[in-house]
Structure 1
Amino acid sequence: MISTIVWGTGNIGRAAIRAVDAHPGLELTAVLVHGPEMVGRDAGELGGLERTLGVVATDDAAAVLGARPRAVVYAASGNTRSAGALADVCAALRAGAVVVTEPIHPLYDSRDDRHEVRAPIREAIAAGGGSLFVASADPDWASGVLPLLLGGLGTTVDVIRCQEIVDYSGYSEPGSVRRLVGMGEPLDYLPPLLAPRMPTTVWGGQVRMLARALGVELDEIRETVSRRPLEVTVETDAMGKFEAGGQGALRFEVQGIVGGQPRIVIEHVNRIDPTCAPDWPNLPEDAASAYRIVVEGDSRLETTVRSVVGRGDPAAGGARAAVGRLVDAIVWLVGKDPGLYDALDVPLRPAARVADPVTA
């Protein structure tokens, strides 16, 4: 069994606790939290399970890493604390752990040497012998591996479009949904996510990775952004009221330009209310999020994967879609040399577990 800790208990962390507990090759040995109100609570409770796991949450990162866990699922938010997330990940790498995570956006393409974040990561790997796999929260299979597999079914590829559609109304992360993304805020408020070149900072690595896999050179990366106001005030169970006139829907694209045309496109369509911007791409029925891949070439190939709202956790569908890939990568990474890996390195693996109908 591979000793594994989960660091963070937000939407991703809760799903990670469940995934690690269910995996036959992993043993959940610790849960690290940042909020003092979480300390002392059982991991089963924090993960939304209907049983205790006998693992009590702690905020003592030094003690947990000092026990030399073999793997770390780093699920703490990096959107609003990028420096803190980087420091945490480096500490885990220095402890010799395999680390799987998603918030270090510049490392979605592990071969991209242009960002300064690589230097401390490389130093930590060299010092401790750990490994790092950073996967997009889109999740990465929806904007990386699966589009390439679909593209391989045709003779030629002209355009690859990777589309994420999300209903935020069930999320419980107001810091991200309201301030980072701008839901409910006046349209003259510029959310940090939409600052010039920020979408490229976050998703440009995915575009570059796809271009690398396809063997094409990018002319540049462009961005497009559209926003729509709420026509009525809406009330959510998780985050309260969102007033009419505030941002209700957001749509943006990060476009890889080849030969002057958008050829590799990552598109996001996000809403706080499903009735806002009805003319934009919408979710399939009963889905909390969906991932649609369209490949245009000698033929058109399209597939949609929908995440249904999870039991007891409104955001669990989308979170599990990202977490399963991270957790399942641990066994493969443990058998490899220390280093920095991305979605083209880490293979998609068959399911490693069968759901328990009582606890899944």
Structure 2
Amino acid sequence: MIPTVVWGTGNVGRAAIRAVDAHPELELTAVLVHDPAKVGRDAGQLAGLERELGVRAVDDVDAVLAARPRAVVYAASGDMRPDDAHADVARALRAGAVVVTPALYALYDPPSAPPELLKPLREAVAEGGGSLFVSGVDPGWGNDVLPLLISGLGSRLDVIRCQEIFDYSTYDQPDSVRDLIGMGHPLDYVAPMMLETVPTMVWGGQIRLMARALGVEIEEVRETMVRRPLERTVSTRTMGEFEAGTQGAVRFEVQGIVGGVPRLVIEHITRIHPSCAPDWPSPPDGAGAHRVIVEGRPRIEVTVEASDEDENRSAGGNATAVGRLVNAIDWLVGRPAGIYDALDVPLRPARGRLGRSWG
């Protein structure tokens, strides 16, 4: 069994605890939390399981890393605290752990990561002997392994479009939805995630990774952005009211330009209520989905819906992103220390888990 720590118990951390518990080769040995109110609570309770796991949450990072865990699922957010997340991951690497995380956007494509971010992590790997794999929570597989797999099914390839389409009214992450993305703010409010170049900073690595796999040169990365106001005040189950006239939907693209044409596109279409921007693409169930469209011959379209935590489609996206990360741990443990990406880490069958009862 591989001793594994889950660091953080938010939307991603809850799913990570469940994924580690379900994995036949992993053993949950510690859960790290920041909120004092969570210290001492059982991991099963924090993860929404119907049973206790016998692991109590702690906030002593030094003590947990001093025990030299073989793996760390770093589930703390990097959205509002990128420098802290980077430092935390480096600490875990220096402790010799295999670290999997969605928090370091720049590491989606390590070859194109800024040297000032990559160098300290390489040094931490060399010092501690750990390994790092970063994959997105949006989820990463929808912007790398899935479109690349589908691209091999056709004879002519014109455009690959990866879409996240969500109604965030059920997403229990008010800081991100309201302040980071701008939902519920006046349209003249410039949300951090909507600032020019930020979408490229977050998703540009996945564009470059796909281009690298396909053997094409990206001439430039472009962005498009459209925002729509709510026509009426709406109420959400998890985040209260959003007033008429404030931002109710946003649609943006990060485009990889090849031969002067957008050939690789990552597109997000997000709403706080289905009544906003009804002319934009909507998910089949009305809540959320991830879609890959390959324009070419033949034209191929694949839509993936996932639900978790009482049919919450947003939580389902988190859970599949976490599954990609957690299910890579045993593979990484068997490989040399280093920094890996989605082209290195295979997507493998869930061996030993069919029919297994775990919660």
TM-score range, shorter chain: over 0.9
Other-structure match for 2:328: 329
Matching residue's letter, 1:120: P
Give the deviation of 1:74 after TM superposition. 0.5
Is residue 228–residue 247 contact of structure 1 (8 Å, CA) maintained in 2?
yes
Give the deviation of 1:298 after TM superposition. 2.4
Give the deviation of 1:331 after TM superposition. 0.6
Is residue 308–residue 319 contact of structure 2 (8 Å, CA) maintained in 1?
no
Report matched runs for 1:7-22 at 5 Å: 7-22=7-22
Other-structure match for 1:168: 168
Other-structure match for 2:221: 221
Query: 1: CA distance between counterparts of 2:40 and 2:290?
Result: 37
Query: 1: CA distance between counterparts of 2:281 and 2:149?
Result: 23
Other-structure match for 1:81: 81
Give the deviation of 1:309 after TM superposition. 4.7
Query: 1: CA distance between counterparts of 2:206 and 2:99?
Result: 19
Give the deviation of 1:355 after TM superposition. 5.0
Give the deviation of 1:181 after TM superposition. 0.5
Is residue 171–residue 315 contact of structure 1 (8 Å, CA) maintained in 2?
yes
Matching residue's letter, 1:254: V
Structure 2: tracts of 5 or more residues without a match: none
Aligned residues: 358
Query: 2: CA distance between counterparts of 1:309 and 1:169?
Result: 15
Aligned: 1:308 with 2:300: no
Query: 1: CA distance between counterparts of 2:100 and 2:259?
Result: 35
Other-structure match for 2:53: 53
Give the deviation of 1:168 after TM superposition. 1.1
Structure 1: tracts of 5 or more residues without a match: none
Other-structure match for 1:319: 318
Give the deviation of 1:244 after TM superposition. 1.2
Matching residue's letter, 2:190: L
Query: 2: CA distance between counterparts of 1:356 and 1:349?
Result: 17
Matching residue's letter, 1:221: V
Distance 1:155 1:315, change over 3 A: closer
Other-structure match for 1:188: 188
What TM-score, normalized by structure 2, do the two folds share?
A: 0.97
Other-structure match for 1:152: 152
Identity %: 64
Matching residue's letter, 1:338: A
Query: 1: CA distance between counterparts of 2:38 and 2:180?
Result: 24
Other-structure match for 1:177: 177
Query: 2: CA distance between counterparts of 1:314 and 1:263?
Result: 28
Query: 1: CA distance between counterparts of 2:281 and 2:229?
Result: 16
Give the deviation of 1:81 after TM superposition. 0.3
Query: 1: CA distance between counterparts of 2:82 and 2:236?
Result: 28
Other-structure match for 1:297: 296
Query: 2: CA distance between counterparts of 1:223 and 1:125?
Result: 34
Other-structure match for 2:337: 338
Is residue 109–residue 209 contact of structure 2 (8 Å, CA) maintained in 1?
yes
Matching residue's letter, 1:62: D
Matching residue's letter, 2:132: L
Aligned: 1:261 with 2:261: yes
Query: 2: CA distance between counterparts of 1:4 and 1:264?
Result: 36
Give the deviation of 1:174 after TM superposition. 1.2
3-state SS of paired residue (1:111): helix
Give the deviation of 1:156 after TM superposition. 2.2
Give the deviation of 1:306 after TM superposition. 0.8
Matching residue's letter, 1:246: T
Query: 2: CA distance between counterparts of 1:289 and 1:267?
Result: 14
3-state SS of paired residue (1:117): helix
Query: 2: CA distance between counterparts of 1:162 and 1:80?
Result: 25
Query: 1: CA distance between counterparts of 2:357 and 2:129?
Result: 39
Is residue 48–residue 313 contact of structure 1 (8 Å, CA) maintained in 2?
no
Query: 2: CA distance between counterparts of 1:174 and 1:251?
Result: 19
Other-structure match for 1:208: 208
3-state SS of paired residue (2:328): helix
Give the deviation of 1:245 after TM superposition. 1.1
Report matched runs for 1:131-150 at 5 Å: 131-150=131-150
Query: 1: CA distance between counterparts of 2:227 and 2:312?
Result: 28
What TM-score, normalized by structure 1, do the two folds share?
A: 0.97
